[in-house]
Amino acid sequence: MSYFFYENVMDHYKNPRNKGKPDSYDTEYGDSNPTCGDNVKIYIKIEANRIKKIGFEGNGCALSMASASLMTEMVDGESLDNALKISEKDLMNELGIKELGPNRIKCVALPVKVLKMAIISYISKQNS
C-alpha cells in the first residue's frame, strides 16, 4: 500500500467532506452492501441541471466513507450528465489506488451507485 493512498483515504475518512443531510434537497437515494455492512445515502440539491449542493450520510469502512467524501467533492457544481459519468476507476485514481480485489472494489462502487441512482431518480421524476 502506498503512503499517498493511505494518507488520502484516512484524510477523507477522518475529515469527511460534505457529510450530513443538507437543509433542502431535490433527490436522495441510499443503499448498502450487506456483505460488509457499508451504507451510504446521498442528498442532492439541483439547479439548472447542475449539482448545487450535495451531502451524504453513512457508515462503513474507511475506503467506502473516503470514497463517498471524495466523490461529493468531485461532482459538486458539475452537470448531471458529467456526474453520471463518474466511475469507480475515477475515484480509485484520485485516491491513488492502482487496483483492488473484488471485495474491496464494492467499497468504492457503493457511493458511485448511490449517486447515479439519485440522479436517475431525479431525471425520471422530471420526465414524468
Are 17 and 95 in contact by the 8 Å Cβ rule? The answer is no
| One-character DSSP codes across 4-51 | HHHHHHHHHHHS-TTBS--SS-SEEEEEEETTTTEEEEEEEEEETTEE
> What are the tens digits of pLDDT across the range 29-48?
999 998 889 999 999 999 99
The DSSP output letter for 112 is H
**CATH code where residue 17 lies:** 3.90.1010.10
pLDDT for res 125: 94
Judged against a pLDDT cut of 70, whether residue 69 lies above it is answered with yes
Split into its structural domains, the chain has a count of: 1
Res. 128 pLDDT band, cuts 50 70 90:
confident
At which residue does the C-alpha cell 440539491 appear? 45
Q: Residue 109 is part of which domain span?
A: 3-126
> What percent of the chain has pLDDT above 70?
96
